């Protein structure tokens, strides 16, 4: 048992496992469904312990594929940020076989690493580590099932590959002469500060978007009256493997100008020509889930 992954000074080996006759409680099956996880144990599960949601814990993280060995652990929800995402377990149901638990986790998505810490009786909790490649159809065989419309995210490996092969430099990241400087910030509770500003038609604008928040945001200018259309595309974008590489910018003619996704405590400057046509041009953060509240308006006068 020396070599890769250990620091033992001498050779050793694992000789024999003998069943002592003592009760064992081990997970023997795991199935990922769109609305949660089915976990089957080798022996009967204590309903009172297992069905208490606080007995159970689930978290997830992703790795970055790269030329170096090893990877930091990244938040699946905020792909560029190190960290784990805890998963909310809405309910726990012990099925009729008294050995299978359904953990209802509406936010479950494909992830490189899923960690479950489960208590199913008075013995020691069980830790399970799995890679979730695909989600099967929702599990409906429990009281309280309610259908949810859900967009299943692209596999994290495909998103990583797209980052390495599809990333393009931002087309507006350049200096233009005689630009009117404008500074915007991500405010509290998914807002832009200011929530509107004016520019003369056709003016050259140098816009700096600052992000003092704790999650990533971006800034995208879109055509007048296109917010619902663009929002609909943003809602579906996590299913596209190159969404992260595209900074969550939807593929649409309605999007006129945009910044890259700006990590917390960072900023991004772009220069562009304001539209020649007067009007109210919405701007929006296209990070999934933000657009409905995180928007403002650039008034072209
Ligand atoms: Cu945002």
Cα 4 to ligand 1 centroid, rounded to whole Å: 42
Residue-range domains of the chain with CATH = 27-160 (2.60.40.1220), 167-300 (2.60.40.420)
How large is the average pLDDT for residues 104-127?
95
Q: For the chain, what is the mean pLDDT?
A: 94
How large is the average pLDDT for residues 163-171?
89
Range of weakest confidence among 3-12, 46-55, 174-183, 214-223: 3-12
Cα 231 to ligand 1 centroid, rounded to whole Å: 13
pLDDT more than 70, % of the chain? 98
How large is the average pLDDT for residues 13-17?
79
Range of weakest confidence among 2-11, 27-36, 182-191, 211-220: 2-11
Cα 197 to ligand 1 centroid, rounded to whole Å: 18
pLDDT at residue 242 tops 70: yes
Cα 286 to ligand 1 centroid, rounded to whole Å: 6
Listed in sequence order, the residues at least 6 apart from 20 whose beta carbon sits closer than 8 Å to its beta carbon are none
> Do residues 295 and 301 touch, judged by C-beta distance below 8 A?
no
pLDDT at residue 189 tops 70: yes
The pLDDT value recorded for residue 12 is 73
CA 222 to chain centre: 24
Task: Give strand pairing partners of 296.
Answer: 283
Listed in sequence order, the residues at least 6 apart from 79 whose beta carbon sits closer than 8 Å to its beta carbon are 62, 159, 244
Cα 152 to ligand 1 centroid, rounded to whole Å: 20
pLDDT at residue 1 tops 90: no
Cα 289 to ligand 1 centroid, rounded to whole Å: 8
pLDDT at residue 23 tops 90: no
The pLDDT value recorded for residue 166 is 86
How large is the average pLDDT for residues 166-194?
95
Cα 224 to ligand 1 centroid, rounded to whole Å: 20
> Do residues 126 and 26 touch, judged by C-beta distance below 8 A?
yes
């Amino acid at each position: 048992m020396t070599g890769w992954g250990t620091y033992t000074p001498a050779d050793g080996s694992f000789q024999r496992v003998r069943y002592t006759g003592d009760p064992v409680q081990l997970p023997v099956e795991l199935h990922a469904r769109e609305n949660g996880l089915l976990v089957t144990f080798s022996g009967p599960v204590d309903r009172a312990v297992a069905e208490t949601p606080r007995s159970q814990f689930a978290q997830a993280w992703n790795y970055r594929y790269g030329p170096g060995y090893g990877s930091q652990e990244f938040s699946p929800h905020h792909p560029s940020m190190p960290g784990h995402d805890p998963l909310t377990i809405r309910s726990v149901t012990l099925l009729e076989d008294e050995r299978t638990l359904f953990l209802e986790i509406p936010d479950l998505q494909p992830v490189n690493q899923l960690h479950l810490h489960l208590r199913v009786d008075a013995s020691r909790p069980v830790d399970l580590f799995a890679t979730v490649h695909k989600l099967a159809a929702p599990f409906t065989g429990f009281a309280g099932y309610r259908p949810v419309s859900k967009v299943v995210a692209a596999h994290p490996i495909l998103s990583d590959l797209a980052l390495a092969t599809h990333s393009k430099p931002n087309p507006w990241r350049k200096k233009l002469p005689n630009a009117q400087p404008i500074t915007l910030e991500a405010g509290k509770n998914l807002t832009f500060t200011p929530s509107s500003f004016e520019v003369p038609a056709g003016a050259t604008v140098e816009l700096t978007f600052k992000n003092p928040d704790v999650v990533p945001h971006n800034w995208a200018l879109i055509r007048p009256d296109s917010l619902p259309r663009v929002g609909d595309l943003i809602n579906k974008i996590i299913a596209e493997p190159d969404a992260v590489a595209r900074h969550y910018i939807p593929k649409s003619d309605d999007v006129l100008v945009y910044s890259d996704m700006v990590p917390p405590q960072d900023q991004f400057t772009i220069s562009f020509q304001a539209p020649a046509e007067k009007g109210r041009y919405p701007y929006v953060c296209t990070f999934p889930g933000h657009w409905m509240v995180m928007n403002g308006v650039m008034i072209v006068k």
